[in-house]
Amino acid sequence: MLVIFICVLLFFIFLYRFLVAYGDFTLMSKKQPKREEIEDKVVWITGASRGIGEILAKQLASLGAKLIISARNEAELNRVRTQLKGRHAPDEVMILPLDLSSGEDSLRVAVEKAESFFPDSGVDYMIHNAAFERPKTSILDVTEGGLKATFEVNVFGTITLTKLLAPFMLKRGHGHFVVMSSAAGKTPAPGQALYSASKYALNGYFHTLRSELCQKGIRVTVVCPGPIETSNNAGSKVPSEVYLGVYSILSLCVLIVAIVPLNMPCGVSQQKRVSAERCAELTIIAATHGLKEAWISYQPVLAVMYLVQYMPVVGYWLMDKVGKNRVEAAEQKGNTYSLSLLLGKKKAP
């Protein structure tokens, strides 16, 4: 009986930890970034003028990194630089305006400039954070223009930049690509077909790049965040408490279904996401610990990712049940992570 009791207790502890998790178990086991992996290293960040990119710049500067920050808006990059504090910030922070859709010749010039900023070391970390995402819409409403715009930035530009920078890293015998992918690159994302396709492409490319070049000193960390809370003021604090999602948990076991609804408001106003600050911190933790892939999300997205990865029949069945309702919820600007999507309940207008 004692053994049974211990087993049941351990199961409930595991269940609780899973329900309140905000990342995959490997990532959750790493508590702090390794400062020695960042201090005095050259880190190039794309999409650094706002959101997660801006917050990554602030956190990396505080850890002693030498930064190169890029985005299309030079004025915003200057604003970000003035707010950075650290051993090499703001005075040694380099601004490099960059448009990932500008073509290979333009990107080659950008890489050469980036490598020349710190000639004694070159670029140690390349953080691919820039991305293009359109509003959620039906897959039937996808336009050729939207397809080109999404893939020019999310795939073609990112891959071209990597191809141009990798030889410099190989010559030095080390380098690390950190790729801000998405949960939409691990699971179906109804209403986000183009964005999802672009992130699947990135995942495939960078995992293959690592397999080919890891023995030559090239490391890759693919980060897959789910819904992230960003604010107009990227430096402001965002509440980190979570009201646990439920629709993905239903497919795990009946017990979870019984527990979660008792504690979880499902209304749009109650939807909680991982804060941008926490997402950036976890990204740095994943990179400095050399993780090959990291998932960042509260439930239910995290559970869906586990299901699709390890129980694909159940995971895809679940997303098939949700798909049509999620697109409709997006069109009505409703909660696209609600229990009602699985159960088919209509939300009050």
> Could you give the CA distance from residue 305 to residue 297 in angstroms, rounded to a whole number?
10
The answer to whether position 89 is within a domain reads yes
Query: Tell me, what's the pLDDT at 54?
Result: 97
| CATH number, domain containing residue 64 | 3.40.50.720
Q: How are beta strands 218-225 and 293-296 bridged, if at all?
A: parallel
The answer to whether position 331 is within a domain reads no
The answer to whether position 10 is within a domain reads no
> Could you give the CA distance from residue 119 to residue 127 in angstroms, rounded to a whole number?
19
Of the chain, the end-to-end C-alpha distance in Å amounts to 52
The answer to whether position 307 is within a domain reads no
Instruction: Report CA torsion sign: 299, 25, 291, 288.
Output: positive
pLDDT per residue as tens, the chain (349 positions): 877 878 877 877 777 777 878 899 999 999 899 999 999 999 999 999 999 999 999 999 999 999 999 999 999 999 999 999 999 999 999 999 999 999 999 999 999 999 999 988 899 999 999 998 877 778 888 888 989 999 999 999 999 999 999 999 999 999 999 999 999 999 998 888 999 999 999 999 999 999 999 999 999 999 999 999 876 434 333 333 333 333 333 334 433 333 333 333 333 334 568 999 999 999 999 999 999 999 999 988 898 999 999 999 999 998 888 888 787 777 777 666 665 666 665 444 4
Query: Would you report the helix, strand and coil content of the chain in percent, each value rounded to 5?
Result: 50, 10, 35
> Could you give the CA distance from residue 330 to residue 345 in angstroms, rounded to a whole number?
15
With vertex at residue 238, the alpha carbon angle to CA 33 and CA 84, rounded to the nearest 5 degrees, is 55
Structural domain that includes position 30: 26-136+143-232+273-297
Catalytic residue among 195, 247, 298, 306: 195
**pLDDT one-digit tens code per residue, 272-305:** 689 999 999 999 999 999 999 999 999 888 989 9
The answer to whether position 278 is within a domain reads yes
User: Quick check: 335 and 267 in contact, CB under 8 A?
Assistant: yes
The answer to whether position 261 is within a domain reads no
Burial of residue 183 (number of CB atoms within 10 Å: 0-12, 13-18, 19+): buried
Query: What total of structural domains would you count in the chain?
Result: 1
**pLDDT one-digit tens code per residue, 1-50:** 877 878 877 877 777 777 878 899 999 999 899 999 999 999 999 999 99
User: Quick check: 53 and 47 in contact, CB under 8 A?
Assistant: yes
| Residue 195 bears catalytic tag | yes
In the sheet that holds 42-45, the strands lie side by side as 94-95, 66-69, 42-45, 125-128, 175-180, 218-225, 293-296
pTM: 0.85
The answer to whether position 157 is within a domain reads yes
Give the chain's radius of gyration (CA, Å).
21
Query: Tell me, what's the pLDDT at 53?
Result: 96
The answer to whether position 202 is within a domain reads yes
